[in-house]
Amino acid sequence: MPVSIQDVADRANVSISTVSRVLNRRNIVNAKTRQRVESAIRELGYSPNVFARGLMLRRSHILSLMLPDLHGEFYSEIIRGANARARELGYQLMISSVISKDDDGSELMTALGSHGLVDGLAIMISEVDDRTRDSLEKIQIPLVVLDGDIDGVEHDSVVIDQRKGAVALLRHLVNDCQVTRVVFVGGLVTNIDTMERLSAYREVMAEAKLPVGPDHVFHLDYQYDTAYELGEARVDQWAKQRVGVFAANDEMAAGLIDAAIAAGYSLPEDLAVVGFDDTRIAAMTRPRLTTVSVPMSNMGATAIDLLVQRLDDPEREPAKVTLESSLVVRESCGVK
Closer Cβ to DNA, 20 or 332, answer by number: 20
List the single partner that 13 binds among DNA, its own copies, none, CB under 5 to 8 Å by kind: DNA
d(CA 220, CA 243): 19
Closer Cβ to DNA, 49 or 266, answer by number: 49
Which residues on adjacent β-strands are paired with residue 328? Answer: 291
Strands 244-247 and 272-274: parallel
List the single partner that 117 binds among its own copies, DNA, none, CB under 5 to 8 Å by kind: its own copies
Query: Of the candidates 267, 249, 269, which has an alpha carbon nearest to the alpha carbon of residue 258?
Result: 267
Closer Cβ to DNA, 48 or 148, answer by number: 48
Start-to-end CA span in the chain (Å): 67
Q: Considering the complex, what minimum distance in angstroms separates the CB of residue 205 from its own copies?
A: 30
Which residues on adjacent β-strands are paired with residue 325? Answer: none
List the single partner that 16 binds among its own copies, DNA, none, CB under 5 to 8 Å by kind: DNA
**What part of residues 26-85 is at the interface with its own copies (CB under 8 A)?**
45, 47-52, 54-55, 60-62, 70-73, 75-76, 79-80, 83-84
Closer Cβ to DNA, 43 or 154, answer by number: 43
Query: Any residues with CB less than 8 A from the CB of 232 and at least 6 apart, and which?
Result: 259, 262, 263
Closer Cβ to its own copies, 222 or 224, answer by number: 224
Q: Considering the complex, what minimum distance in angstroms separates the CB of residue 22 from its own copies?
A: 15
List the single partner that 96 binds among DNA, its own copies, none, CB under 5 to 8 Å by kind: its own copies
Closer Cβ to its own copies, 29 or 296, answer by number: 296
SS3 content of the chain, % helix, strand, coil (to 5): 45, 15, 40
DSSP string, 175-236: HHS--S-EEEEES-TT-HHHHHHHHHHHHHHHHTT----GGGEEE--S-HHHHHHHHHHHHH
What angle do the packed helices 31-44 and 5-12 form, to 10 degrees?
130
**What part of residues 252-311 is at the interface with its own copies (CB under 8 A)?**
254, 258, 261, 280-281, 283-286
The alpha carbon of 222 is separated from its chain's Cα centroid by a whole number of angstroms, namely: 16
Q: Which residues bind its own copies (CB under 8 A)?
A: 2, 45, 47-52, 54-55, 60-62, 70-73, 75-76, 79-80, 83-84, 87, 92-97, 109, 111, 113-117, 138, 140, 224, 254, 258, 261, 280-281, 283-286
